[in-house]
Structures are given as structure tokens and as C-alpha cells.
Amino acid sequence: MTVQSDTQSWQLCLSCGAELAEADVATRCRSCGGLLEVRHKPPELSGQALRDHFDGRTSASGVWRFQELVLPSATQPVSYPEGNTPLLYRAPLAAWAGTSDLALKHEGHNPTGSFKDRGMTVGITQALRIGARAVVCASTGNTSASLAAYGAQAGLPVFVLVPEGKIALGKLAQTVGFGARVLAVRGDFDACLGLVEEAGERLGLYLLNSVNPFRIEGQQTIVFELLQQLRWSPPDWIVLPGGNLGNTAAFGKALEQARELRLITRLPRLAVVQAEGAAPFARSFAEGFRHRYEVAAETVATAIRIGNPASWDRAVRAIRLTDGVVLSVPDAEILAAKAAIDRAGVGCEPASAASLAGLRRLVSDGTVSREQSVVAVLTGHMLKDPEILLESPALGAAAIEQIEPTISALATAVEAASRTIFREA
Ligand SMILES: Cc1ncc(COP(=O)(O)O)c(C=O)c1O
Ligand SMILES: [Zn+2]
């Protein structure tokens, strides 16, 4: 079917080239099961004129500011608003990673505390446009918190499948609080995703995992926004954690569009960082992507505890397009990076710290040189995973000391702490 001649946007199968209408509810190609991508007719402006257009637009949302590249025909976006997250410059963290030019794009500043809100504002907007009666996702936690919030705002029932006992407390609490129906599955994330993909068609639930191409459209704006913050002068590298690889796919698509529309003239390289116990994509990259792997995933970074990433093919394209790299880091390095980020007063959840841990490795093995400019994406907020902070001595649990309610006990504690502080200084 050819639909693109008379509509502004359509969906394209990346495997067989089939086209589906923009309003089609399929989240995979009906002919071959391949992943879909949303395509739009290019905006009338490009280059400096398009940059000026975006720079001049005052929008409370850092997603809908780029509407022409996201979902041009939407008239009533369901927006919190979201995006407009800061680029942070912190010398101690640049020094920790070994670079001289590091910016941290902190996506934990989104309304529900993770980058997922950027995709969800578009996904839920699309759900209303196609008349969905209910929405569903599988989640390691952040997707469910975001879907629950945006679903509540849109008045849509939300069903969420999570791996039982494997969800960080902050994320689960948000999901429950926003009113979603939570189903704790006795299985891992990959089992949850398999279930919801099947349930979508059978039970008439609109699937809002990142296989849904409208989610990817919104997540592209992390890249558009950081390029705009850098006055459209791209960094040498963008470093991000990789789990289900939706973000990797979104970053590749955004960079491709940005270059085609002459918003930028040079592509940054992508560096995708996985946890060593959940690194099928890194293993495949090391072998030139000759094989696709699936692993039984295990890592403290629960948000990237994914063994069979859904956006694999799209992510391979993104890495090839940008001459990117994929690597893995052990949990101990993720926690060390998190401790550094937290102690710098920035804070993030464990999966986000994989970015900085990966960057440190890339600098030490010479892949990234000290002078190159780097943007590392912190994907989620520190409060998402309070358990790890209170359970891990390295992250701060050891700092909690119990005392009697007396001034002398307090004086002793202050005195003892001062000795350590002054010795450290
Ligand atoms: C905080 C955080 N970081 C990273 C990721 C991984 O993103 P992706 O699945 O798009 O690779 C997730 C996904 O749940 C996440 O919640
Ligand atoms: Zn197809």
C-alpha cells in the first residue's frame, strides 16, 4: 500500500518497505512483523530558517516545540508539559570521566522523572487520535510511571505489566499513585513484553512500549533539544545507556533528520552503554552485528535489565549511521559512576550512571579523546530507586548513624564526623 502521496505522515516498515496509514494501530508491520517508523513530509523550512523557527517558538513543551519533526498533524497534544531539561556542566564529573568538555543532559527533570515522558506525550496523543479504549505497556518501571501519568491526564484506562519484585520502589509507587492497574508478572521484562505484544491485538489494548513508533518520535526531541541548547553546533559524541534500545533508535532517527534538514552539517557519534549482565547488543557490535543475541539479563541497573532488546534493528541502523560504538560496563563501575554523580549534587538513577561509566572507559581506551566534546545523557531521577541508596554502603547507606536524643550524643557524632571530614579534606 502506498499512503504517502496524500497524507502528511505515514508508517513505514523498516524490513520490507510496506507502508501503513498514520492512524493504523499496528505496532509491527502487518506483512512481515518488522519494526515500523513514522515518516512525515518534510517541513517547508530547512537550514537556518528552520533553526530560527524553532529558536523563535516559545513553547512550554520541549517536545512540541519541534512538532513539525514529531507529529505535524496533531492539534490537541496531551502535554504535561515535558522536556526543556537542563544541560549541566560539572567539572568534577568531567575530571572523573577524564574529559575536558562534558555536558550532562539530565532527563530526570521531566515531569515523571525520566525521558519516557517525551515519548509518552506523543504516544498518548496518538492513542486519543485513533480512539483507543485503553492502553498497555510492559515496563522495568519508568515507562509504566510515565504511561500511568499521561493516561490519567487523557482519561484512558492504563494496564501495566511489570516483572514481579524487579521494579525500583519510586517507579512502582508513581505507577500505583497515578491510578494504573499494575499486574506483577512472575517472569522477567522480556516475558512481560512478549505478553503485551500479543495482548495488544487480541484484547484491543493500544500498546505503548517503545516498539510503538510514535514513542520514538517524541524521544527524538532529546537530541533536537540538546542540539538547540548547543546553538546547533553538534558535540563529537553523545553517550547514552542502552536497554530496550528505543532511545538509541530515536537518537539515530533524530540525527538523520537533523542532517537532512540541514539543522546540522556533521553527525555526532553515538556511544551506547549496556550493563555487563545485560549486554546482547554490545556483544553483537563486537562481532560487526553478524548475530543477534538474547541473554538472561541481570544487573543492579533495573531499567536496563533487558535481555532481548525490541528496537534492535533500528538501533543497528543508528550505530551504523553515526559510526557509533557499543560497550558494556560492570555493575561496580555503574555504581561508582552513580556515587560520583550523586556526590557532585546532580543525582541520577543507576541505569543513567551507565553513561558516565561508559564514557570513562571510552576515554581510558582512547576511543574518545580528552579534547572531544561529549554530551552524556542521564535518563532518570535519583529518587526513582531509593532502595539502592539505602542498601548500598558505597552509595551512602553507611552514612546513617543512630544516636540517643541528647546533646552529648550529638556532640560526639559531630566531633567524630569532623575528624573524618578534616582528614579527607
Ligand atoms: C532510566 C532509564 N535509562 C535507560 C533506559 C533504557 O532505554 P532504552 O530501553 O530506550 O534503551 C531506560 C528504559 O527503561 C530507563 O528507564
Ligand atoms: Zn514489513
Among 6-20, 223-237, 248-262, 357-371, whose mean pLDDT is lowest? Answer: 6-20
Q: Indicate if the pLDDT at residue 114 is higher than 80.
A: yes
Q: What is the pLDDT of residue 173?
A: 96
Q: How far is the CA of 28 from the centre of ligand 2 (A)?
A: 8
| Sign of the C-alpha dihedral computed for residues 272, 278, 281 and 287 taken in this order | positive
Mean pLDDT of the chain: 95
Tell me how far apart the alpha carbons of residues 262 and 295 are, in angstroms, rounded to a whole number: 39
Per-residue pLDDT, averaged over 55-73, amounts to 95
Q: Indicate if the pLDDT at residue 421 is higher than 90.
A: no
Tell me how far apart the alpha carbons of residues 141 and 143 are, in angstroms, rounded to a whole number: 6
Q: Indicate if the pLDDT at residue 424 is higher than 60.
A: no
Q: What is the pLDDT of residue 215?
A: 98
Q: Indicate if the pLDDT at residue 271 is higher than 90.
A: yes
Q: How far is the CA of 19 from the centre of ligand 2 (A)?
A: 8
Instruction: Provide the residues around ligand 2 (an ion) whose CB is within 5 A.
Output: 13, 15-16, 18, 29, 31-32, 34
Per-residue pLDDT, averaged over 12-34, amounts to 93
Kindly list the protein residues whose Cβ atom lies closer than 6 A to any atom of ligand 1: 114, 140, 142-143, 210, 241-248, 303-304, 349, 351-352, 379-380
Strand ranges across the sheet with 181-185: 181-185, 158-163, 135-138, 206-207
Under the phi-then-psi rule, with left for phi > 0, alpha for psi from -120 to 50, and beta for the rest, what region is 161? Answer: beta
Q: How far is the CA of 33 from the centre of ligand 2 (A)?
A: 6
State which ligand 1 atom lies nearest to the alpha carbon of 246: 10
* Contacts of 349 by beta carbon, 8 Å cutoff, 6+ apart: 108, 114, 168, 301, 303, 338, 379, 380, 381, 382, 384, 385
Q: Indicate if the pLDDT at residue 2 is higher than 70.
A: no
Q: What is the pLDDT of residue 399?
A: 79
CA angle 256, 246, 108 (to 5 degrees): 100
| Sign of the C-alpha dihedral computed for residues 117, 121, 127 and 133 taken in this order | positive
Q: Indicate if the pLDDT at residue 341 is higher than 60.
A: yes
Q: Write out pLDDT tens, residues 151-184.
A: 999 999 999 999 998 899 999 999 999 999 999 9
Tell me how far apart the alpha carbons of residues 60 and 217 are, in angstroms, rounded to a whole number: 18
Which of 106, 112, 140, 144 for a ligand 1 pocket mutation test, highest count of atoms within 8 Å of Cβ?
Answer: 140
State which ligand 1 atom lies nearest to the alpha carbon of 116: 16
Q: Indicate if the pLDDT at residue 397 is higher than 80.
A: no
Q: How far is the CA of 361 from the centre of ligand 2 (A)?
A: 38
Q: What is the pLDDT of residue 5?
A: 54
Tell me how far apart the alpha carbons of residues 404 and 402 are, in angstroms, rounded to a whole number: 7
Q: Write out pLDDT tens, residues 342-388.
A: 999 999 999 999 999 999 999 999 999 999 999 999 999 999 999 99
Q: What is the pLDDT of residue 200?
A: 82
Q: What is the pLDDT of residue 141?
A: 94
First to last CA, the chain: 69
Q: What is the reported pTM?
A: 0.96
% of the chain surpassing 90 pLDDT: 88
Q: What is the pLDDT of residue 423?
A: 64
Per-residue pLDDT, averaged over 228-253, amounts to 98
Q: What is the pLDDT of residue 3?
A: 59
* Contacts of 414 by beta carbon, 8 Å cutoff, 6+ apart: none
State which ligand 1 atom lies nearest to the alpha carbon of 143: 14
* Locus of grid cell 506523543: 122
- For the ranges 20-29, 184-193, 279-288, the one whose mean pLDDT is highest: 279-288
Tell me how far apart the alpha carbons of residues 170 and 167 are, in angstroms, rounded to a whole number: 9
Among 55-59, 79-83, 339-343, whose mean pLDDT is lowest? Answer: 55-59
Q: Indicate if the pLDDT at residue 297 is higher than 60.
A: yes
Per-residue pLDDT, averaged over 135-145, amounts to 96
Q: Which three cell numbers stand for residue 53?
A: 523557527
List the one residue out of 309, 333, 334, 329 whose CA is nearest residue 319. Answer: 309
Three-class DSSP labels, the chain? CCCCCCCCEEEEECCCCCEEECCCCCCECCCCCCEEEEEECCCCCCHHHHHHHHHHCCCCCCCHHHHHHCCCCCCCCCCCCCCCCCEECCHHHHHHHCCCEEEEEEHHHCCCCECHHHHHHHHHHHHHHCCCCCEEEECCCHHHHHHHHHHHHHCCCEEEEEECCCCCHHHHHHHHHCCCEEEEECCCHHHHHHHHHHHHHHHCCEECCCCCHHHHHHHCHHHHHHHHHCCCCCCCEEEEECCCCHHHHHHHHHHHHHHHCCCCCCCCEEEEEEEHHHCHHHHHHHCCCCCCCCCCCCCCCHHHCCCCCCCHHHHHHHHHHCCCEEEEECHHHHHHHHHHHHHCCCCCCHHHHHHHHHHHHHHHCCCCCCCCEEEEEECECHHHCHHHHHHCHHHCHHHCCCCCCCHHHHHHHHHHHHHHHHHHC
Q: How far is the CA of 2 from the centre of ligand 2 (A)?
A: 13
For residues 376, 380, 381, 387, the Cα torsion angle rounded to the nearest 10 degrees is -120
Tell me how far apart the alpha carbons of residues 172 and 386 are, in angstroms, rounded to a whole number: 12
